[in-house]
Structure 1
Amino acid sequence: MLLDFPLSIIAASLLAFFVSYFSIVWLIKRKNASVLDYPNSRSLHTVPVPRVGGVGLLFGALSVWIAFSAVLPVPVWLGIIALSVISFVDDIWSMPVGYRLFVHTLTALGFCITLLLDAYGWLPVMICALAVIWTSNLFNFMDGSDGLAGGMVLVGFGYYGLAAYLSGNVNFALVNFSLAAASLGFLFHNFYPARIFLGDVGAVPLGYFAAVMGLLGWINDLWSLWLPLLIFSPFIADATATLIKRSFRGEKIWMAHREHYYQRMVQSGFGHRNTALLGYGLMLIVGACALWVNNQDMNIQFMAAAIWGFIYLGLMLMADLGKKPYSGDI
């Protein structure tokens, strides 16, 4: 199968991996107090760790897109610039939530209005904009355990790339495979014990990419909307269920906490490594299912999504009815 891939995709992926890997090596060596993530009562790490790994990951992917003249809509480029800047500033100086959410909203609306309004009208635009905003933030919420978010990016965009290639769109396949490869370069430094974190500068833009790449594939008839929803459903299910529960309890949903299911797994004694490996297995299985149902009748796609919904519900109920998480050393 690899031999059938265009050389442009292989070359772009290799370049994205090496640029990301060595950029992050440089970032790790240049430790600075302003970009260190210091442990607190809500952290799952115990020593200060650099939190700008997303800079190297994004540099690996975006530089390859430019080098290979990847074609993407202008709103995507503008959106990623705006999100990267505001997120990097937040990593250093902790921007107020309102400022960040304002930029997230502008980028989501800019993308959805430009690409969806004429064909679909205002209601789908608003629904999709909310989805983009939520996905941008949920990646940040789920980036709290060594290797987990990096693996989600690797698997998720790897499946996007494969789906695009199977649909005959080499340019879009190159874009997504490059993101996956750059994530692999990051993952070499982020897998337990992590020497660097994504930070907001990585997590927020990658969440944005997960949403807009999924929508672009749908707009260009490469896949149905079920494919991106299923591929990233492990993150979507955990973050959304946790948000709803905290909202019902009247808690400030934007405040850092340790109540996500993956965080509770780490605290229970399962550890960062095993949590990440279990997550990878789940992501691979659900992604393969998404790729398969993409070519099936819409009723089958809906049924597959419903089945996975019940699986997640069952797993969460088991976790909620189980023992309280262990709060000692991790």
Structure 2
Amino acid sequence: MTFTFYLVITTALFGTELLYLQVAERFRIVDKPNERSSHTAQTIRGGGVLFWIAALGAFIYTQFAFPYFFLGLTLAAAISFLDDLYTLPNRYRIGVQFVAVALLLRETGVWPTEPWVWLIVLVVGVGTLNAYNFMDGINGITAFYSLVTVGTLWYWQVRQPVLAADSLFAFVLASVLVFTYFNARRKAVCFAGDVGSVSIAVIILYMLYQFIIVHQTYLPILLLAVYGVDSVLTILHRLYLGQNIFQAHRLHLFQLLVHRLQWPHLRVSALYALLQLGINAMVLAAVNWSTAAQLGLAGLILLTLSVSYCVLKLRLMSAALVAKQNVAVHP
């Protein structure tokens, strides 16, 4: 692929996004603020449909090289877009996501023989899709984090090719760049929506599966370490509080940084992306290490992230409690 080809892809996707924005505005496809939202004004929703469109372009360009993956992606994107429009019951959305992850596994050509392994892989895959979706709560976070993750995987692909259809990286990264232009602003032009966050999560999961299989290591999972720690520990916190984990909320650490410390959205988004970029650099350096050394690195990274999450969250929650007590004493 030449620079001219990349430029053509990016220009075409930019025009496609502009067209979607016009259609969405015409049919009032907007994001209505709720308990999870960090914005107050209605903004166009579903701009992340561009990620699916980019995958479609790569699918056609490679002469339909990854049919099962693309079918799974399409199913996940379709149910997510319907959820953006109508708010579907969780059982429909999650059921389709299980099918999508199963199709990803079929595409890789590696199918677990033991039923319990098969079930674990499916559950972890669906959990990853939903975690990526849950983290899409402030301007720029999906854009920056996806740029870092897809960019790292593409760099890895160039060094040690894994996917035969490597044009998928170019198409998808171009779509994330275009989406970043519209989303990573103080006042976003559009949000990714469930269709966007789930679609890019499916794409990244497919790429990660391939790298895990080829390199025979689970180290690539750490390319989602920052999102993973925030998501898992927040879910555990909400379960401890007796909350419904599928309902909107503002208990993610990134949400507390925005609402309690009043940090700008883009600062928090950049912090998450840069932190993940540093971890990605360590993963690339350690991919050929011994299994014991890789496990040690993974443990150190996850422990550091977890302790940092707990300390920061406790301080933010304690400060909020003190502030509330002061208000009660001195109304």
Q: Is TM > 0.5 for Structure 1 vs Structure 2?
A: yes
Matched, 1:121 2:114: yes
Check the 8 A contact 1:83/1:204 in 2, yes or no: yes
User: Kindly, what percent of the aligned residue pairs are identical?
Assistant: 23
Read off the aligned partner of 2:275 and give its amino acid letter: L
Check the 8 A contact 1:163/1:222 in 2, yes or no: no
What is the correspondence of 1:37-52 to structure 2 with a 5 Å cutoff? Answer: 37-52=31-46
Check the 8 A contact 2:37/2:138 in 1, yes or no: no
User: Which structure 1 residue ranges, 5 or more long, are not aligned?
Assistant: 1-6
Matched, 1:270 2:236: no
Displacement, 1:145?
0.8
Q: Secondary structure at the match of 1:52?
A: coil
What is the correspondence of 1:140-179 to structure 2 with a 5 Å cutoff? Answer: 140-169=133-162, 171-179=164-172
Residue 105 of structure 1 aligns with which residue? 98
1:251 to 243, 246, 250: 243
- CA distance in structure 2 between the aligned counterparts of 1:41 and 1:151, rounded to whole angstroms: 23
What is the correspondence of 1:60-71 to structure 2 with a 5 Å cutoff? Answer: 60-69=54-63, 71=65
Q: Secondary structure at the match of 1:254?
A: coil
Displacement, 1:61?
3.6
What is the correspondence of 1:170-209 to structure 2 with a 5 Å cutoff? Answer: 171-193=164-186, 194-209=188-203
Q: Secondary structure at the match of 2:71?
A: helix
Q: Secondary structure at the match of 1:323?
A: helix
Matched, 1:218 2:218: no
Q: For each residue in 1:49-79, what CA deviation from the matched residue of structure 2 results, as whole angstroms up to 9, or x when unmatched?
A: 111111223213421341243632x321110
- CA distance in structure 2 between the aligned counterparts of 1:318 and 1:17, rounded to whole angstroms: 42
User: Which structure 2 residue ranges, 5 or more long, are not aligned?
Assistant: 322-331
Matched, 1:57 2:64: no
- CA distance in structure 1 between the aligned counterparts of 2:111 and 2:131, rounded to whole angstroms: 28
Displacement, 1:198?
0.5
Displacement, 1:176?
2.3
- CA distance in structure 2 between the aligned counterparts of 1:128 and 1:149, rounded to whole angstroms: 24
1:76 to 69, 80, 84: 69
Q: TM-score, normalised by structure 2?
A: 0.88
Q: For each residue in 1:70-125, what CA deviation from the matched residue of structure 2 results, as whole angstroms up to 9, or x when unmatched?
A: 632x3211101111111111111111111111111222234336756656533332
Displacement, 1:165?
1.7
Displacement, 1:127?
1.6
Check the 8 A contact 1:52/1:196 in 2, yes or no: yes
- CA distance in structure 1 between the aligned counterparts of 2:4 and 2:255, rounded to whole angstroms: 37
Equivalenced residues, count? 317
- CA distance in structure 2 between the aligned counterparts of 1:103 and 1:68, rounded to whole angstroms: 26
Displacement, 1:316?
0.9
Read off the aligned partner of 1:240 and give its amino acid letter: V
- CA distance in structure 1 between the aligned counterparts of 2:20 and 2:107, rounded to whole angstroms: 36
- CA distance in structure 1 between the aligned counterparts of 2:95 and 2:80, rounded to whole angstroms: 12
Q: TM-score, normalised by structure 1?
A: 0.88
1:241 to 225, 228, 233: 233
